[in-house]
Structure 1
Amino acid sequence: MFNIYRGDCLATLRLLPANSVDSIVTDPPYGISFQGRRWDYDVPPVEVWAECLRVLKPGGHLLAFAGSRTQHRMTSRIEDAGFEIRDMMAWVYGSGFPKSKDVSAAMDSYLAGDREVQGGAFVRPGVYEVTAFLRAARERAGWTNRQLDELFGTNGMAGHWTTGGSQPSVPTLAQWAKLKEVLGFGDDVDDLVNSLAATAKPEPSADGGGGGRFLQTLQRSRHDCAPAGDWGTALKPALEPITVARKPPQGSATGNVQVYGTGALNIGGCRVGDEQRWPANLMHDGGAEVHDCLGDASRFFYCPKATRADREEGNDHPTVKPTELMRYLCRLVTPPGGMVLDPYMGSGSTGKAALLEGFRFQGCELSDSYADIAQARLEGLAPSLAAVA
């Protein structure tokens, strides 16, 4: 009833027959470097979606989760591969915390973190560590500050980059990369240079506005005891978009359904609430915050975020989706007895949902540890599936 393929999904997809799966339901990498994971450095490329298109039956649907910041990139690549973009669903939830820096509250450390040096100037912590490192690297390489200035077309800047006295300066990231190349040093202080570049203080504009005025506003908020989060850097996450795409049908939608069984959505099997309302492109977790915002929660399908029961023992995957949500999505786009494919299977939530709905399943997973978890989860369904049968 299911197959798990280990390894790169693009290589696996190329081995699958054309027009062999009925639907694709997947939670791919969002391209936001989630928790610093290497697999999340970018959204999947067009080549992967082109193979998804090839293996789907004509009219087959693709549902792909995305991050709110990178959904446009995900959708564009899916469309560039040849899919029709049919809609965007949104799964709304009340839980979750903003990944935001409280800029107002950070003003104390932002200002007090400077170190006063001769002449009344202030230098950020870590700057002298960088200048000392660069000075030693310059001496090892046999370069002079004048030669560095000639290389960069600057007048005396190299002296600020390598000084142990007043007015030290840290190169920009582009300058640092070039210095690393010509002086031949390692990455010992790369993290520190990146941190200093990220916290470089803006210079006030000539008219006293811009960065200077904004810093004054933050200071006033701080001294006025403004509520936490008066100025921040991000909104609270409250939804995940899902791209709804379809492989172009052959001929009319009706004719395509008659030949391949794909091309239509299972409206009857996904009606919502006691009143059997038409399914919408909005879903939510049923939480109090969402209910307060939306009112009558029964108008939309709802499912809470993944619980401990969803994860099951030993599942440490960071982005597990709730089983009921994935069952709903599989049911919406898969004909009876159809084959569901997930090229980014993770710990197998789509596969579990597909099997519980009576579908067949194929999944690809690059990580052996997650593939092991998925294998155990799907094999563990055998008793419950036998009972249903």
Structure 2
Amino acid sequence: MFNLNESKPYEIFNQSCYGLTPLSDNSIDALITDPPYGISYQNHAWDKALPDKQIWADSLRVLKHGAFGLVFSSVRLMHRLMVDLEDSGFLIKDVLFWVYLNGMPKSRDIGLEIDKALAVESAVVGQYDYVQGYKKGGADNYYTETKKLKYEPCSELGIKYKGAGLGIKPAYEPVILIQKPLEKGLTVAQNVIKYGTGALNLEQTRIPYAKGESKVGHNPHPNGRVSANILRVDELEDGYDKFFVIPKVRQSAEKFNHHPTLKPVELMHHLVKLVSFEKQQILDPFMGSGSTGIASIQLKRQFVGFELEADYFAICQKRLDLLT
């Protein structure tokens, strides 16, 4: 087993997280992770299936009683992951929604599919420049195919179903809020006294009032509202309450970082502050390129991470080295 201190605020392992063998029972204060979603994202081998629920049993073992966790997921398989978490002994407390407007619809024109099935040749009606939405060959390179042909259906049935598709545009990513149960027989206050865990850090995650905005509520807090379970990418003038706003990451911000599901460090700042307090230890069993670790260290927490892929581990190590 290892011991972290202020001169070494992190420890990362280039190995499978299953077992969490370097970690002692009841030693970690919070869990924040972005595991494989099981949706074959960009056909990556590591995203073919949800993690084996052994990792959630392992995480339960190493977390202190009352510790909170945040687990990113996908809309399609969130329910399966929640069942795995619950079966492993965690309490499901909430689901946070990271909301954005620039999601990419994953669909195709069924009218054209009908033409093909009926052996009818669709009509070429123009051209367009096609830009694939992910990196190929490095952080500064987009895979672009220009002058792609644009088609429209020609069969009677194809015309009827022109533009019909298979799915709507995704506009949010769920983050499951979980908690390891309090030690049996302890109140929340007693658990916090004994372990330092069991309460969310609401004071450090309040949403400040907008400039010129009057304070709200029967007993308004000077630092703003309690953070909601909606985290927005864009500010919207829709009449709803104010939310924490964080943009999606710019892929070129770190030229050496080509991880395909990179999370914004500002988003991780908010999540780290929500489930932990200064000098506590944050665990990420699927650390990828290390955004959780970056946020943890910047906020004076300690970080423990695991990553099996050597390329992503090296990126994480470089990012952490730049901080220390």
Structure 2 residue matching 1:9: 3-state secondary structure: coil
Q: Which has the higher helix share?
A: 1
Q: What corresponds to 1:17 in structure 2?
A: 24
Q: What corresponds to 2:275 in structure 1?
A: 333
Q: What corresponds to 1:207 in structure 2?
A: none
RMSD: 1.9
Q: What corresponds to 1:215 in structure 2?
A: none
Count of residue pairs brought into register by the alignment: 269
2:82 pairs with one of 53, 56, 75 = 75
Q: What corresponds to 1:232 in structure 2?
A: 165
Q: What corresponds to 1:304 in structure 2?
A: 247
- C-alpha separation between the residues in 1 aligned to 2:247 and 2:45? 28
1:45-194 maps to which residues of 2 (within 5 A)? 45-112=52-119
Instruction: Kindly indicate whether residue 253 of structure 2 is the aligned counterpart of residue 245 of structure 1.
Output: no
Q: Which has the higher strand share?
A: 2
Q: What corresponds to 2:291 in structure 1?
A: 349
How much identity, in percent, do the aligned residues show? 41
Q: Is the 8 A contact 1:262 1:335 kept in 2?
A: no
Structure 2 residue matching 1:75: 3-state secondary structure: helix
Provide TM-score, normalisation by structure 2: 0.79
- C-alpha separation between the residues in 2 aligned to 1:92 and 1:335? 25
- C-alpha separation between the residues in 2 aligned to 1:103 and 1:55? 49
Q: What corresponds to 2:124 in structure 1?
A: none
- C-alpha separation between the residues in 1 aligned to 2:274 and 2:297? 14
- C-alpha separation between the residues in 2 aligned to 1:376 and 1:67? 28
Q: What corresponds to 1:41 in structure 2?
A: 48
CA offsets, 1:126-150, max 9 Å, x none? xxxxxxxxxxxxxxxxxxxxxxxxx
Name the aligned partner's letter for residue 345 of structure 1: M
Instruction: Kindly indicate whether residue 260 of structure 2 is the aligned counterpart of residue 318 of structure 1.
Output: yes
Q: What corresponds to 2:321 in structure 1?
A: 379
Name the aligned partner's letter for residue 74 of structure 1: L
CA offsets, 1:4-63, max 9 Å, x none? 10111114x133101111101000000111111111111112211000001001110110
Instruction: Kindly indicate whether residue 18 of structure 2 is the aligned counterpart of residue 5 of structure 1.
Output: no
Structure 2 residue matching 1:44: 3-state secondary structure: coil
Provide TM-score, normalisation by structure 1: 0.66
Q: What corresponds to 2:232 in structure 1?
A: 284
1:195-210 maps to which residues of 2 (within 5 A)? none
Name the aligned partner's letter for residue 241 of structure 1: P
Q: Where does the alignment leave 5 or more consecutive residues of structure 1 unmatched?
A: 115-217, 383-389
Q: What corresponds to 1:364 in structure 2?
A: 306
Q: What corresponds to 2:37 in structure 1?
A: 30
- C-alpha separation between the residues in 2 aligned to 1:223 and 1:374? 50
- C-alpha separation between the residues in 1 aligned to 2:274 and 2:22? 27
CA offset at residue 219 of structure 1?
5.4
Q: Where does the alignment leave 5 or more consecutive residues of structure 2 unmatched?
A: 1-8, 122-153, 210-214, 216-223
Structure 2 residue matching 1:106: 3-state secondary structure: helix
Q: What corresponds to 2:148 in structure 1?
A: none
- C-alpha separation between the residues in 1 aligned to 2:272 and 2:156? 53
Name the aligned partner's letter for residue 49 of structure 2: D
CA offset at residue 221 of structure 1?
6.5
Q: What corresponds to 1:258 in structure 2?
A: 193
CA offset at residue 109 of structure 1?
2.9
- C-alpha separation between the residues in 2 aligned to 1:42 and 1:268? 37
The higher relative CO (CA closer than 8 Å, separation ≥ 6) is in: 1
